[in-house]
Structure 1
């Protein structure tokens, strides 16, 4: 009897080449939200979002909403939230965490939102999504197309420059010199496939008629510590440092994530300057 070759493993990438997280919800939750770094990220967002956004209970489209933390934050502040997420496993976890909240859920990738949830929206949140897409530039154009004039996009991206510095700190000098920073999207590794720079966000925002109104760095110090803080007092000191410098140049530029408020102006730039 002839032995058949083993079936090839299913690709962890979508047909568009994007990284989705079916089969990785537990690792995703533990790596990105579990432990001190995840707590710090959420604590910083809790302070920064009300400072950086004009919030008045408007409906929110949460793009790539993952496990539902951000959707829950907005729902608790009386926003009607629509959460869009391509991974069925992540969406099931989000439904569990959002029980009791008024949140609508859509299982759909970002690329299909113009057909599924066209809006236009006065507030869109897209946190830690573009870095997992094969074509983040087109994705930002899609998000811009969903905004109403005067609408805000809360965008958070994984910072390529911070990833380079982190590799240098760890001694990965050859990798940093070669600029081999992207993940491959294989197995269970969670290095983003498209880490982004501030310069890219500036250029792509301008291409799509979006103005950068606010910017901050998320975890500008924490990821470079030799050892994480061991005591509650040290964790409080680290949070105080992060809060003090997260919007101060040059520190924000080396945040592990870069958090933006982008706005579609109510008038075209040429009219506004006439």
Structure 2
């Protein structure tokens, strides 16, 4: 990362200026990144009511998720604070109906107020200093009856992963957060299911669906090294990603949150 680009924003959030190449190789170029995208491809049509509605993709990064929705007929607005990430997304999304906006989540009430019937916010809250406040901001952008597809980095899975690796002291002390000061990609605010439940309730959101992303893969001693093993692992992940207790230890937790239409709102329609 260039020394001229501070790793943390003035709000204390971790942005990713200068890390587009690392994201492309580390997060999406390997087997785990491919598995994450394959599971989302499997789960999103099951967990969301999709009817080609316009959507806001918050922290859309390199544009993989925006491309997925655009290819299915959605008009997408992708918001991303890091300029080089947005440049990569622009290249990927050529030919698709996607509007690009360089902005952090906190600026969206002014720049993309909606209301939106569908918002996608995947792997963003864990990089923010105030994820609770960020969820409240997202709710303010959501139309009554609208859906929020939220994916967060699972703190409980991070603890188990550290135990499996032998980092017992770190796990016992619960020192799981990254500092956001180097190129390592450990989130600064990993979250628990309990936090999402509590914050959803206080914002009037209903949890309609929940799944774990990579409930087995990150704990394997030896990653699969041939197509047959990879196919079997994907089949296992698909079978158990929504089954309790397995989903609770997914590396990521994927939610469909809905803002209900209140009686007064229904009467006004």
TM-score normalised by the chain length of structure 1: 0.94
Structure 1 unaligned segments of length 5 or more: list them: 1-7
Alpha-carbon RMSD across the aligned residues, in angstroms, is: 1.3
Shift of 1:9: 6.2
- In the other structure, the counterpart of 2:164 is 169
Alignment of 1:143-222 (within 5 A): 143-222=138-217
Shift of 1:84: 0.3
Shift of 1:31: 1.3
Shift of 1:10: 4.7
How many residues of Structure 1 are paired with residues of Structure 2 in the alignment? 263
Shift of 1:11: 2.5
For residues 59-113 of structure 1, the C-alpha deviation after alignment (integer angstroms, 9 at most, x for no partner) is 0100000000000000000000000000001000000011111100000000010
Structure 2 unaligned segments of length 5 or more: list them: none
Shift of 1:187: 1.6
Q: Which structure would you say has the larger Rg?
A: 1
Contact 2:5 2:17 (C-alpha < 8 Å) held by counterparts: no
- Show structure 1 runs of 4+ deviating over 4 A: none
- In the other structure, the counterpart of 2:15 is 20
1:133 paired to 2:128: yes
Change in CA separation of 1:92 and 1:261 when aligned onto 2, cut-off 3 Å:
same
**Which is worse superposed, 29-38 or 118-127?**
29-38
Change in CA separation of 1:160 and 1:268 when aligned onto 2, cut-off 3 Å:
farther
- In the other structure, the counterpart of 1:226 is 221
Shift of 1:268: 6.2
